[in-house]
Amino acid sequence: MDLRKLIERLAAENALKYGKANPKAVMGKVMAEMPELRSRVREVLALVNQVVEEINRMPEDRLRELAGPEKREKKKEERKWPPLDKAEPGKVVTRVAPEPNGYPTIGHAKGLLVPFIYARLYNGKFLLRFEDTNPRVERLEYFDAIREDFSALLEAAERELGLSPGRWDQEVIESYYLPKMYELAEQLIRQGDAYVCTCPAEKVRSYRKEGKECEHRDQPVEKNLELWEKMLEGEFKEGEAHLRLKTDMRHPNYTMRDPGIFRIVDAPHPIHGDRYRVYPTYDFSISVMDSLTGVTHAFRSKEFEPHVEVQRTILRKLGLREYEMIQFGRITMEGIPISKRYIRPLIKAGILDGWSDPRVPTLKGLFRRGITPEALVRFFYELGPSKVDATINFESLAAMNRKVLDPVAPRYMFVPDPVKAVVEGLEVLKAEVPVHPDREDRRVIELTEPSVYIALKDAKSLREGQEVRLRGLATVKVRHVGPDEVSLRVSEEQRISGIQIIQWAPYGNATPVRVMNPTSPYSYEMLGGYGEPAMRELRKGDMVQLLRIGFARVDSEEPLTLILSHR
């Protein structure tokens, strides 16, 4: 009944907040409050589904009764984050604008969280905008991966920082604005502010470097309109023509020297197929889209700072609304490739097992390894919106993850490279071990015979006559250490302080376990051995601590495979 009441309360709160209770969200909160139920996940999920169905049929007054007093949402101290210039509460609009050309990485986490946190701190609006105007490298699966991973982080931000709602307010797909962008391009041409250039790419680069104008720069407007129409109708092949903004070919900022604003891409679009073949460049699309979608504060990586002048010029020539452009520092990871252009070839070569490989810092890979969304939120909140580039090492991220997992992850004994140890004089074939050092509940381990597995490393360290403690089972004296078997005898004195404590698994009914330990983006090691019988109840996604080894996430159930998160 206590469990049912908890589910009713959480489901009622969820329904009041979002209009309808979501079983997945309710289940996550139940597990967070009662982690000891992870071994009964199927039973609990069935009850959650039943209660949620009932809750979603109840009137609002009954929901408020079940939810109880309204809770105040916790907030981190806002003083850690500098105020936004020209920001009015309730009027701030920010966005994240990923390109769906791969799975998001840890670098995208900062690009997502910085504008989201500011939008919520100012009670403003937050947009997810897909920059899908380079169809050659874009896939529908990347759209879905971005939605899924960003949702996980934003929901965690709501839980960790009290910033609600933990989702984007509107989704925008840039390619649906292409007809409007074509209109704006034609406006620039008619104003004499853009021209169609048919110079080869090498010549364009050379002339821009030299500050030299090409022969197309002074073409009549009518000629440019004619060539623009030919671009749209497919009379030019890719690379044969592009639309350039007319600025100043001797400008000290190289990016301001007649930059390209539209080019031909002969590749099917993942959404529109072959409907379009002329696509805007980054500078044109980002400046126009931020203005058209009401963005007031546009955050982007510091590497794009030289492009700010180009983007402001585009807005002014078109007479579009301007907005604040804010740069923040890039994120890199020590010794680990973070850019998709490095990860993609490793996947293609078969070195990595896809974008979710736990050896690389894609968000999918980090989640699969057991780095929690809560840890990422905490990490980037503490890092703040600094403009300074930051190189982080995995251990600093692991330290934050440890703070999240340590209070809730159940402990299990796991014996790698097992060696049989026969225990003479063991009369009680049962042991009790704590599930977690901070909780009173204990787990019973049944033995089928007076023998256990111990790790080869521990076996090699034993000496005859030495007394050690088999955790939760008995204090024993070492009789003999052989190459493939150890002989132990139960000690007369059981309460001996200061002796070595050894992990073990029961011989005959232990759980076969393998643990993958990522060692670099290019390699990993596998630990094979036995775990406690209770480990058979673990399910994919469960987080545990393997004593003396580290925190790990269950990756598959048959065979039971865990990925080592960190020590």
pLDDT per residue as tens digits for the range 275-297:
999 999 999 999 999 999 999 99
Peptide bond into 559 cis (omega under 30): yes
Tell me the C-alpha distance between 395 and 392, whole Å: 8
Residue type, 497: S
What strand order describes the sheet that includes 260-264? 194-197, 242-245, 260-264, 278-280
Residue of 125, 109, 111, 122 whose CA lies nearest to 81: 122
Which pLDDT score, from 0 to 100, does residue 337 have? 83
Token code pair at residue 275: 């409907």
Superfamily (CATH H level) for 178-284? Glutamyl-tRNA Synthetase; Domain 3 (3.90.800.10)
Distance of CA 204 to the CA centre of its chain: 39
- Give the CA diameter of the chain: 103
Which pLDDT score, from 0 to 100, does residue 71 have? 56
Which pLDDT score, from 0 to 100, does residue 45 have? 87
The domain spans of the chain are 2-67, 91-174+291-333, 178-284, 340-385+392-405, 409-459+502-567
Which pLDDT score, from 0 to 100, does residue 18 have? 76
Q: Which residues of 177-200 are buried (b: 16+ CB within 10 A; e: fewer)?
A: bbeebbebbbebbeeebbbbbbbe
Which pLDDT score, from 0 to 100, does residue 77 have? 44
SS3 of 414-476: the string is: EEECEEEEEEECCCCCEEEEECCCCCCCEEEEECCCCEEEEEHHHHHHCCCCCEEEECCCEEE
Low-confidence ranges of the chain (pLDDT < 50): 73-79
Q: What is the DSSP letter of 549?
A: T
Which pLDDT score, from 0 to 100, does residue 377 have? 97
What strand order describes the sheet that includes 170-173? 93-96, 125-130, 170-173
Q: How many residues would you count in the chain?
A: 567
Indicate the CATH number for domain 409-459+502-567.
Answer: 2.40.240.100
Strands 390-392 and 331-333 come out as: parallel
Tell me the C-alpha distance between 541 and 546, whole Å: 15
SS3 of 174-192: the string is: HHHHHHHHHHHHHHHHHHC
Token code pair at residue 273: 């197929």
**Residue showing tokens 């969280």:** 113
pLDDT per residue as tens digits for the range 225-276:
999 999 999 999 999 999 999 999 999 999 999 999 999 999 999 999 999 9
Residue 505, SS3 per DSSP: strand
Which pLDDT score, from 0 to 100, does residue 78 have? 43
Strands 242-245 and 194-197 come out as: antiparallel
- For the segment(s) 91-174+291-333, the CATH number from 3.40.50.620, 3.40.50.11780, 3.50.70.10, 3.40.50.300 is 3.40.50.620
Tell me the C-alpha distance between 129 and 110, whole Å: 16
Tell me the C-alpha distance between 242 and 288, whole Å: 18
Residue of 523, 550, 542 whose CA lies nearest to 399: 550
Token code pair at residue 148: 């899924």
Token code pair at residue 47: 């009850």
- For the segment(s) 340-385+392-405, the CATH number from 1.10.1160.10, 2.60.40.1260, 3.90.1150.10, 3.40.640.10 is 1.10.1160.10
Tell me the C-alpha distance between 543 and 555, whole Å: 10
